[in-house]
Structure 1
Amino acid sequence: MQQKAKFLIQLQVLIIGFLMMLPLQSLAQLTEATNLSKAQNLSSYKPDSALMLLKQVHARAVSNHQTLVAAQSLQQMGQVCYEQGHYAQALDFYQHAEQLLESEKQKDKLAGNWSKMGLLYYYNRQPKQAKKFYLKAHELYRQTGNSEGQAQVLGELGHLFEKQQQYQTAFSYQKQALAKYRQVGSKLGLAKIYENIGSIYEDLARYDSAYYYFNQSVQLYEKQQNTIDGIEVINNLGDVFRKSGRYQDGLQQSYKAYHLAQQMHNTYQIAAATHDLGKTYQLLNRLDSAYYYAELSRKLSLEIYSKDGLKQTSFLQVLYNFNKQNDEIARLNTIKKTNYIITVAVSIVVLLLIILGVVIFSRQRLKINDQRLLAERNEAIFKTQHELMQLELKNKQLQEETLQQQLELKGKELSSHTLNLIRNNQLLEQMRNTLQQMVKDDKRDQKKQMQQMVHQINQSFNHEQQWKEFTAALEQVHQRFFERLKEISTDLTPTDIRLIALIKVNMDSKDISGLLGISMDSLRVARHRLRKKLNLDQGENLSAFIQSL
């Protein structure tokens, strides 16, 4: 005993030393692999505990970024839900596992996941979807060269077509699966395919062939010590004997299945065996035995139903809590993501504001420098322009002074011409009056000569040279005056222009009539005609209009 205890202590030390030598990540993966195996064992009799354990494994795997472990835990949770008949929840787990396996490029495991999804769709009575996923899994297994995986999927496809009563197609797939399992040397795989082929022959009522393949399956299960699967096939053998009228052989196989199920404490198989025994005894007309086993089967079925009900209740509670926790986790993750997004957004906004502030500050500094340089440049330009303007102003002042002097000279010349005209006309007026008086005296010897003198004097009133000089002087003083007159009216006569010129220099009517050599009445008539030619309205002052030109 002491040596054994010493050996166990040494073994523990070696195991602990080995574990300490492993990297932390490898140690964590090893621990989770152990938990997955433990959950798989629990799933058959404590599905609620298995689901809780798998949930914990999945949560840790997600937290530690162990994608493959997370996918495997999801697959096992899907399997537990499938076994409990919760197909919708199982499908959800498988779909999440599919996404993770695709991201990790785990082709073999992904193909296995598709195969399980196909089986799920089959039991959910969706054969088209089941076939789709089976074919996808088979193609992926073919790409990876996984013959055993191909065989397993081919067997499932054969079983699918059998239930649709497409027996030729079912046979084809089962034979392909059989060849693949023989290739890899899988005894358990061969046993399952023999069972499937036997089931097809049983459906076709070819009981000899069914017996052959069921018997082959049982022998392989016994060699592999797989009693549980073997019991079901033994029951199938009992069914074949009963259907073919070999009741005693059928009873023998049913009793064999019954005793093996009792040894394994498998209530479900016990109930199935007693049910078959009841049917066989009924056919043998042994009604007491038939009733006994039928009643036993009924009680066992009720017991199974009751236990399954309790398991289902417990499982549903775990599943509810699981979904509730998932919803809460999803809600918290959403809040976390939202807070993260808000934090990132605020950080980005603050950073952008800081950058914007720096840019604005830099641009403002550059703008201020540019404005300062521009102001200095403008100031220099302004000074230069100011100096030029001062020079130009002085030049203009000098020009204005010169023009003013010239204007004053011209005004003096105009006044001088006007005075000369007035004096000449006054002198001529006096002479004309004297001569007219002499003519009135009627001195015949002087009359003719005096008339000639009067005629010459009258001609001198309109001496053109004097008027030209007067007009030139007026134009220099009042530039473009006569041009504006011509723009207003083209009907003006030389006499009209002289009248306008005299009005322009503010000469009174008496002097105007004297210069023009006409009476005051004639002057009024001339002014009236001039108003019409200038298109003046009634009441508009002629002198004011001429002064405005």
Structure 2
Amino acid sequence: MHNCRAKEHSSPPILSGIVLFAWIISISCTFVQTVSGQANFTERGVPASPQNPDSLLIGLKTNYNSAVGKNNELEAAGYLQQIGRLLFISGHYPQSLDYLLKAEKIFRNRGQKKMLAANLNMLGELYYRTRRPQLARKQYDEALIIYQNLRQESGKAEIYGRIGHLYEKREMYDSAFYFQHKALHSYELDRRTDGAAKIYENIGSIYEDLGKYDSAYFYFNKAYALNARTHNARAQVEVVNNLGDVLRKTGRFREGLAYSLQSLKLAQTNGERYQISSAYNDIAKTYNLLVRNDSAFHYLALSRSLLNDIYSEESNKQLALLQTLYEIEKKDNEIAQLTQARRIDTLISIATGIVIVLIIAVAALIISRQRLKIRNEQKLLAQHKQVYEAQSQLMEAELKNKKLEEENLKQQLETKTQELSSYTLHVIRKNQLLEDLRARLDEMIKDDKRDQRKQIKALSEQIGEGLQDNRHWEEFRGIFEQVHQSFFDRLQQQTGPLTANDLRLIALIKMNLTSADIATLLGISQDSLRVIRHRLRKKLNLAPGDNLSAYIQSI
């Protein structure tokens, strides 16, 4: 890494020619750094601007359009990344960011982790160049995670080196050393000598920033040795230049001059024009320190002349590239407009066809539906007519059946009523007969004939038991419930618990029998019947003025 700060000298109040010349050289060094930083990105492994970036851009754009035409999204993303890289190298950062972000989206969607990590690495460098270190670090961290998951030591090493460089620029040298050493370790695991040489150079640059020139010289020498082993003459140019800087800063001007001349020769051999200009500038500074101002002016003039040529060429390249970008964007916009117009025309044609087809289909559907509706209505009307006729016939049959059932029920009811009446009369006659027999037997008992008194008394008791026999009551109740259905259920709902004798009395009252007939059927006197009726009124909770017979008939 170059450090163009001129060594400070004390000077008398009147500015001497040497000091003035050193000031000119310092200004020139700043100019070299500014121009070199805009167009030559050889530092930290970024390639310099190509000779014909406009032609290269056209070729990449043509290949991208071809990939899009083949629906090869992944290939298209690769060309997007290359276009973004070309624009980044050429210093067109906003346009580069646009292409790189498009490529990143495709790589993410397609799960291309390795390509995504490389793209994130490039985005991080772009954000660093545009002075957004926080965004740069975010890209580096994500790329580092991917490389760790893929177990790619070279990828990890490159990211570690870039993070270390971020810390170096923020003058956080402990962190910078930490990440550069991690990068060195990863390169050594992957046996990447060229990468390790670059990290040694980065570590030397940190020591140079700290003013620890012996350590800086040590690490620059290690980078020099590795580049010599791999015959990497291009990387050697900057390492030799850095060695010359360190020697010059430590006062070893002639040794530093030798390294600067060696750097110039290597740069000329490899055609590295920026490095040639930088070597001229370093040689001029060294001659200035050796108080050889004529040589210093000579090399300074060579540096500035070469920089002017480079700057002019780069400006022309920038203009050509901008013109190409403009033409490409204009062409893309025209193509997009034509494509959009074609799409709109196609959509209008398709929509018109669809509308016509829909109108025909709807019309056919409406006609078909109307015909179907008419047929269905006719079928439904016929079905309704059949159903109506069937229902009418069924209703007539049901009506006849109901009439027959009613007549049958009436006949059954009349039969049951007659049976109930006959049975009741039979029981009444039987009980009356038995009552007369018992009365006569009671009179005979009163006679003095003791021998037959005992037999007659037993016969009277037997007759009494016959009067109280409940078997006839069960038969009576069965017939009664057939005639008066659910009567006892309704009665139980309106009153409290009733005994069998209570139910028997209520049933006889329901049949409208006289008190004399009821007393005869129950085998009791009429006085006893009045007492029983009084008790029943209380159980039924009747008021004093309510008629018991009317109440029972209402149930």
> TM-score of the superposition, structure 1-length normalised?
0.59
Whether 1:257 and 2:263 are equivalent positions in the alignment is: yes
**Structure 2 counterpart of 1:49, one-letter code:** S
Question: Which range is displaced more, 109-118 or 159-168?
Answer: 159-168
**Structure 1 counterpart of 2:367, one-letter code:** F
2-structure distance, mates of 1:270, 1:261:
5
2-structure distance, mates of 1:348, 1:190:
67
Partner residue of 1:299 out of 305, 308, 323: 305
The offset of 1:88, in angstroms, is 0.5
State the partner residue of 1:182. Answer: 188
**Structure 1 counterpart of 2:315, one-letter code:** G
Whether 1:356 and 2:362 are equivalent positions in the alignment is: yes
1:381 to 1:45, Cα distance in 2 relative to 1, 3 A: closer
The offset of 1:377, in angstroms, is 6.8
2-structure distance, mates of 1:41, 1:246:
32
The offset of 1:355, in angstroms, is 4.4
Question: Which range is displaced more, 265-274 or 343-352?
Answer: 343-352
The offset of 1:328, in angstroms, is 2.1
> Contact between 1:42 and 1:49, CA under 8 Å: does it hold in 2?
no
What does residue range 86-485 of structure 1 map to in structure 2 within 5 Å? 86-346=92-352, 348-373=354-379
1-structure distance, mates of 2:291, 2:331:
58
1:211 to 1:346, Cα distance in 2 relative to 1, 3 A: farther
The offset of 1:378, in angstroms, is 8.1
**Structure 1 counterpart of 2:97, one-letter code:** L
Partner residue of 1:81 out of 83, 87, 93: 87
2-structure distance, mates of 1:81, 1:96:
14
What do the CA deviations read for 1:420-458 (whole angstroms, capped 9, x no partner)?
Answer: xxxxxxxxxxxxxxxxxxxxxxxxxxxxxxxxxxxxxxx
2-structure distance, mates of 1:109, 1:78:
14
The offset of 1:381, in angstroms, is 11
Aligned residues: 345
**Structure 2 counterpart of 1:241, one-letter code:** L
2-structure distance, mates of 1:293, 1:175:
37
2-structure distance, mates of 1:74, 1:380:
79
What do the CA deviations read for 1:18-77 (whole angstroms, capped 9, x no partner)?
Answer: xxxxxxxxxxxxxxxxxxxxxx99962111111111111111111112222211211111
1:297 to 1:333, Cα distance in 2 relative to 1, 3 A: same
1:360 to 1:295, Cα distance in 2 relative to 1, 3 A: same
State the partner residue of 2:402. Answer: none
1-structure distance, mates of 2:320, 2:160:
36
2-structure distance, mates of 1:292, 1:43:
28
Flag the structure with more relative contact order, 1 or 2, with Cα contacts below 8 A and sequence separation at least 6. Answer: 2
2-structure distance, mates of 1:282, 1:238:
14
**Structure 2 counterpart of 1:70, one-letter code:** A
**Structure 1 counterpart of 2:250, one-letter code:** S
What do the CA deviations read for 1:272-330 (whole angstroms, capped 9, x no partner)?
Answer: 00001111111111111111111111111111111111111211111111121222233
Whether 1:69 and 2:111 are equivalent positions in the alignment is: no
The offset of 1:347, in angstroms, is 5.0
2-structure distance, mates of 1:157, 1:42:
21
> Contact between 2:49 and 2:90, CA under 8 Å: does it hold in 1?
no
**Structure 1 counterpart of 2:151, one-letter code:** G
What is the SS of the residue equivalent to 1:285? coil
> Contact between 2:240 and 2:260, CA under 8 Å: does it hold in 1?
yes
The offset of 1:187, in angstroms, is 0.8
1:221 to 1:350, Cα distance in 2 relative to 1, 3 A: farther
2-structure distance, mates of 1:79, 1:268:
20
1:285 to 1:111, Cα distance in 2 relative to 1, 3 A: same
The offset of 1:357, in angstroms, is 3.6
> Contact between 1:43 and 1:50, CA under 8 Å: does it hold in 2?
no
The offset of 1:351, in angstroms, is 4.9
1:154 to 1:348, Cα distance in 2 relative to 1, 3 A: farther
1:219 to 1:102, Cα distance in 2 relative to 1, 3 A: same
1-structure distance, mates of 2:151, 2:316:
44
1-structure distance, mates of 2:297, 2:131:
35
State the partner residue of 1:476. Answer: none
> Contact between 2:47 and 2:89, CA under 8 Å: does it hold in 1?
no
> TM-score of the superposition, structure 2-length normalised?
0.59
1-structure distance, mates of 2:243, 2:47:
29
Identity, in percent, stands at 42
2-structure distance, mates of 1:251, 1:208:
18
State the partner residue of 1:421. Answer: none
What do the CA deviations read for 1:480-527 (whole angstroms, capped 9, x no partner)?
Answer: xxxxxxxxxxxxxxxxxxxxxxxxxxxxxxxxxxxxxxxxxxxxxxxx
**Structure 2 counterpart of 1:271, one-letter code:** S
> Contact between 2:124 and 2:135, CA under 8 Å: does it hold in 1?
yes
What is the SS of the residue equivalent to 2:231? coil
1:381 to 1:108, Cα distance in 2 relative to 1, 3 A: closer
1:377 to 1:75, Cα distance in 2 relative to 1, 3 A: closer
What do the CA deviations read for 1:455-489 (whole angstroms, capped 9, x no partner)?
Answer: xxxxxxxxxxxxxxxxxxxxxxxxxxxxxxxxxxx
2-structure distance, mates of 1:155, 1:266:
24
1-structure distance, mates of 2:347, 2:49:
41
**Structure 2 counterpart of 1:293, one-letter code:** Y
Tell me how large the CA RMSD over aligned residues is.
Answer: 2.5
> Contact between 1:42 and 1:50, CA under 8 Å: does it hold in 2?
no
**Structure 2 counterpart of 1:327, one-letter code:** N
State the partner residue of 1:504. Answer: none
The offset of 1:78, in angstroms, is 1.0
**Structure 2 counterpart of 1:316, one-letter code:** L
2-structure distance, mates of 1:225, 1:44:
23
State the partner residue of 1:430. Answer: none
State the partner residue of 1:431. Answer: none
State the partner residue of 2:467. Answer: none
> Contact between 2:74 and 2:106, CA under 8 Å: does it hold in 1?
yes
State the partner residue of 2:6. Answer: none
The offset of 1:105, in angstroms, is 1.5
**Structure 1 counterpart of 2:59, one-letter code:** L
Which protein has the larger Cα radius of gyration, Structure 1 or Structure 2? 1
The offset of 1:360, in angstroms, is 2.2
